[in-house]
Structure 1
Amino acid sequence: MTETLTPQAARAIAEEAFIYAYPIVHGYRAIHWLGVRKGGFNRLDHYRHIIDPADDLNKEVQINLDTLYTLVPFDMRREPLVLTVPAFPDRYFSVQFSDFYMHNYAWLGTRTTGQGGGRYLLAGPDWSGETPDGVDAVIPCDTAISYFIIRILCRGKDDEPAVNAIQDQFKLEPLSAFLGVEAPPPAPDPAWMWPSKTMFSSIDIYSYFNYLLRFLEPREDERDLFVDFARIHIGWGKNFDIEAFAPPVQQAIRDGAQAAFDRIRARAASPGKVVNGWYLVPRIRGDRDLLSGSSEKRFTRAVQARVGIYGTDLEECVYLPTEHEADGSVIDASVADYVLTLEPPIPVSGFWSVTVYAADTQFLVPNAIDRYALGDRDPLIVDPDGKIRIHLQHGAPLADRMANWLPVPACPLLIVLRLYIPFRDVVEGRYIPAPVIRTRVLAA
């Protein structure tokens, strides 16, 4: 088949395969980091304090400071797992389940199942059995390796011990341990492939994708895709070797990979429309129905991975980012001070916050008072007109405005307004905050 493969066909296949593979390979970096490098799968990896710039999680873009995290890559090749969720009535929490494709396939928590807790059987695609006694529900997954994230509202540093106590009440155990029976034989060691810096930005993605397919079941509605992918040696049990092709086909495959990466990067840089300087991010995260079944849906799946892996559904939390004033000018704290005005009531059933990052990295940057977010848990000043004005500036404001000061780095900024369990107007894009405006131009 290699001899009959034209450069034009090779480029088209390479582009489609890159888009399909991108979220899988992108997510593998996080799964490998926690599941292999940090101590293994099926382990509750609790983050015990609000993230700050020195944390390893600050290597992920736009990290949130509203909740304490528990991150869990889990492996169901051997047997299902049982997750015990404690009851705690007085604070928000969520458990987000994302499969290896990066579909958000299930949610537990305040919005979906309430505060009462429960036991849940986490089952991979090969399990078929009766729901055990003592288990409230089965959560099936299309992939044998998956990922879940627990987020628990933390109301500041003083609240961390209370959240830590709740974290310790979560429990994850193999089904055999839950039932008190002998465990099945361990799953074979897959000789985990070590991530590289070019694993999802070059043709290297195809070798990683071939390796990771051992953890994925072929989908009936995607078999035709893999017939085409096989023409450039992509698929279950295949070895991708660019040197196996004639030079024109090699170049076509490289061009297809580059074209796909450029498309993903361009859409992710501006995933939605801009109003008042705010990006209104469209529905790019969700379940298999949203992100699988067509070329455009698979492209959306790749874009959401580029925007930020393991992001939430809009119903759980809407992120509204901005880097610009209403006229398109870059928000740059090295040249001006700014203010963000919010008018209560903020349209959420949960809570809200504002966090600022350096625009180029989307990471937190240290500041003198260790304050990186403000929100409804803070003692903010409400002005006589009923509005909340948050001061975004590198230097301190007047003493009587310190409560509303969010210190920012002296550089272009990325500002993110997070709205947890938002009202329908937010989910459907009808809520538009006032633009960030400059209040003082700094001396050159």
Structure 2
Amino acid sequence: MGSMIAQKFREVSGSAPEASSTAEVAEIAEEAYLYGLQQVIFYETRYNYTQAEDSNVYVGVNRYCFVNEGKPITPEFKAVVTPNATTLYATAFLDLQEEPVVMEVPEITDRYFSLQLMDQYGIYFLYAGNQFNGTRARAYLIVPEFWGGKIPAGFATTEVIHAPSRTAFANIRIAMMEGSEEEVRHINALQDQCTITPLSKWIDNGHRGVPGKDQELVPGRYRTFPRMAELVSRQVDRQTAEDFFTYLSLVLNDPGMPLMKDSRKEAEMLSRLAKIGIGPGKDFLWSELDRKMQNSLTEGFINGHKKVKKATQENLVYMNGWMVLNAEGGFDTEYLTRAVMADAGWGGPDSNVSHVGGFLFVDSDGKNLDGKYSYTLSFDMDELPPVTEFWSIPIYDADGYFVANELNRYTISSFMVDRGDLHIKDGKLTIYIQHEKPSDPARVQNWLPAPEGGFRFTARFYGPKIPIVDGSYNMPRPVRVK
């Protein structure tokens, strides 16, 4: 079997694959799915940002993409599912292969903001912002491994961030409390002051960042394969086994994505992958495999996909029916946990220190939410969600998108409570969730318009306290009006 498989792979270097049977190939392929899902989604998403010129997020490397062009998310926006209605985003992919970059953020004192950096394994190596280290303006020097240059004297040691690899995903969130045109302009002005500048250009510019609009677009120079242009970013359900293992081969041969250091488990995984012809120095070609080999890889791919979906359900904390992902961090080589985090919400925080999401698809009787019915969601004012920052409860159609309504309202949030926008009676906040506009003006004030058909929620809790994380908070569920 080993010699037969060897003939089906064209290898750049290394020993021939040595899987002893089709059953072993399927077993290794399943392990490979768990091991590589996070990195594969990273690679695919980076392609869309930095190389796919037809993509609506194409900005090249080291430049922010302002989600929805820096405007509030509306029903017309379909780029991602379950978007947030209370933050404006800026995201980017860093390329540190030639030199460090300087990331600047302005002073932001009037609202929540965060800057977070994630490596290809889904591990965050920087959490910054008012929730973590204050509100003053900062410049962070992001230094790749093995860089031997001189760090400018003006940087504090706490602002020199040593990246574990030579590529990273950056995400800036700035809270939007009311969504007025004036507020959006204010947030956009803050976003314009968030810059990513190669160190040499930062020095040449007088130790100041260069706005993205003033920088030349630099496309990524990463290996690709033809079908990448057909695959939608982060839609892993559309991938075939051929797509996945071709991606994984590219990941393991990307010079900007080094392997985990001093990890015996990683070394053992690479040894297993080598048996199916995937690994550093190997060129994987699906078309040169025989049908038995392709079928075995496909079997393992499908089994891995199913295993991740099952584990995702088992990894949830139930908060009175709301489902919260159990994100404790520290999953470095816990491959199944890493895959679950990627599948459930790629790019989300690797632990609950920043924020968590709560998913809900059913009412208090366990029946699917449907816009042909009316519901109430009631909070005691002294038992609102326990957070240090803010919470919001957006509503989506069954596919995870906002639906147009006459109020242009897609969420209920703590900001609305704080402003006094919602009607409070007898110490209770009651939200009316229904498709038709209520006839009572007080109910219109608290109306969260529902789609006509099925719908769902993905609540956000920024700065969650322990009762949110461990599920002990008694989060109310919608009650169907009889």
Alpha-carbon spacing, 1:35–1:241, altered in 2? closer, same or farther (3 Å): closer
Alignment gaps of 5+ in structure 1: none
Provide the secondary structure at the position in 1 that maps to 2:464.
Answer: coil
Give, in angstroms, the shift of residue 333 of structure 1. Answer: 1.6
Q: In structure 1, what is the Cα distance between the partners aligned to 2:353 and 2:451?
A: 31
Alpha-carbon spacing, 1:426–1:274, altered in 2? closer, same or farther (3 Å): closer
Q: In structure 2, what is the Cα distance between the partners aligned to 1:190 and 1:322?
A: 39
Give, in angstroms, the shift of residue 342 of structure 1. Answer: 2.1
Provide the secondary structure at the position in 2 that maps to 1:291.
Answer: coil
Give, in angstroms, the shift of residue 369 of structure 1. Answer: 2.6
State the partner residue of 2:341. 304
Q: Which of 30, 47, 50 is matched with 1:35 structurally?
A: 50
1:17 aligns with 2:32: yes
Provide the secondary structure at the position in 1 that maps to 2:126.
Answer: strand
Checking the alignment, whether the CA contact within 8 Å between 1:210 and 1:237 is kept in structure 2 is: no
Give, in angstroms, the shift of residue 356 of structure 1. Answer: 0.8
Q: In structure 1, what is the Cα distance between the partners aligned to 2:276 and 2:308?
A: 21
Q: In structure 1, what is the Cα distance between the partners aligned to 2:277 and 2:98?
A: 29
Letter in 2 for 1:387: K
Q: Which of 211, 215, 235 is matched with 2:250 structurally?
A: 211
Q: Which of 373, 394, 417 is matched with 2:459 structurally?
A: 417
Q: In structure 2, what is the Cα distance between the partners aligned to 1:409 and 1:205?
A: 35
What TM-score do you get using the length of structure 1 for normalisation?
A: 0.89
Q: In structure 1, what is the Cα distance between the partners aligned to 2:313 and 2:469?
A: 20
Checking the alignment, whether the CA contact within 8 Å between 1:2 and 1:245 is kept in structure 2 is: no
1:92 aligns with 2:112: yes
Spell out the pairing of 1:14-413 with structure 2 (5 A cutoff): 14-36=29-51, 37=53, 38-46=58-66, 47-55=69-77, 58-136=78-156, 137-158=159-180, 159-180=183-204, 189-193=221-225, 194-197=228-231, 200-213=239-252, 214=254, 215-219=256-260, 220-221=262-263, 222-242=266-286, 244-245=288-289, 247-268=291-312, 271-283=315-327, 286=329, 290-293=330-333, 297-312=334-349, 313-334=351-372, 336-345=373-382, 346=384, 347-359=386-398, 361-378=399-416, 379-397=420-438, 398-413=440-455
Letter in 2 for 1:22: L
Give, in angstroms, the shift of residue 152 of structure 1. Answer: 0.5
Q: In structure 1, what is the Cα distance between the partners aligned to 2:106 and 2:446?
A: 35
Equivalent residues, number:
425
Alignment gaps of 5+ in structure 2: 5-17, 206-217, 232-236
Checking the alignment, whether the CA contact within 8 Å between 1:276 and 1:325 is kept in structure 2 is: no
Alpha-carbon spacing, 1:304–1:200, altered in 2? closer, same or farther (3 Å): farther
Give, in angstroms, the shift of residue 45 of structure 1. Answer: 2.2
Checking the alignment, whether the CA contact within 8 Å between 1:339 and 1:436 is kept in structure 2 is: yes
Q: 1:46-69 CA deviation, whole Å, 9 max, x = no partner?
A: 2422111222xx332221111111
Provide the secondary structure at the position in 1 that maps to 2:424.
Answer: coil
Q: In structure 1, what is the Cα distance between the partners aligned to 2:89 and 2:370?
A: 30
Alpha-carbon spacing, 1:315–1:189, altered in 2? closer, same or farther (3 Å): closer
Checking the alignment, whether the CA contact within 8 Å between 2:375 and 2:433 is kept in structure 1 is: yes
Q: In structure 2, what is the Cα distance between the partners aligned to 1:44 and 1:195?
A: 21
Give, in angstroms, the shift of residue 280 of structure 1. Answer: 3.0
Letter in 1 for 2:125: Y
Give, in angstroms, the shift of residue 140 of structure 1. Answer: 1.9
Alpha-carbon spacing, 1:377–1:389, altered in 2? closer, same or farther (3 Å): same
Moved more, 211-220 or 71-80: 211-220
Alpha-carbon spacing, 1:40–1:247, altered in 2? closer, same or farther (3 Å): closer
Q: 1:39-97 CA deviation, whole Å, 9 max, x = no partner?
A: 31111222422111222xx3322211111111111111111100111112121100111
Q: 1:177-219 CA deviation, whole Å, 9 max, x = no partner?
A: 12239xxxx9993354434437744332111111122131122
Give, in angstroms, the shift of residue 373 of structure 1. Answer: 1.0
Q: In structure 2, what is the Cα distance between the partners aligned to 1:195 and 1:24?
A: 18
Give, in angstroms, the shift of residue 382 of structure 1. Answer: 4.2
Give, in angstroms, the shift of residue 246 of structure 1. Answer: 5.2
In angstroms, what is the RMSD of aligned CA positions?
2.3
What TM-score do you get using the length of structure 2 for normalisation?
A: 0.82
Identity among equivalent pairs (%): 27
Alpha-carbon spacing, 1:129–1:387, altered in 2? closer, same or farther (3 Å): farther
Q: In structure 2, what is the Cα distance between the partners aligned to 1:17 and 1:282?
A: 23
Checking the alignment, whether the CA contact within 8 Å between 2:93 and 2:170 is kept in structure 1 is: yes
Alpha-carbon spacing, 1:370–1:30, altered in 2? closer, same or farther (3 Å): farther
Alpha-carbon spacing, 1:110–1:309, altered in 2? closer, same or farther (3 Å): same
Checking the alignment, whether the CA contact within 8 Å between 2:270 and 2:279 is kept in structure 1 is: yes
Q: In structure 2, what is the Cα distance between the partners aligned to 1:412 and 1:273?
A: 24
Q: In structure 2, what is the Cα distance between the partners aligned to 1:417 and 1:344?
A: 18
Checking the alignment, whether the CA contact within 8 Å between 1:94 and 1:151 is kept in structure 2 is: yes
Q: 1:112-135 CA deviation, whole Å, 9 max, x = no partner?
A: 111012110112223244532222
Moved more, 222-231 or 416-425: 416-425
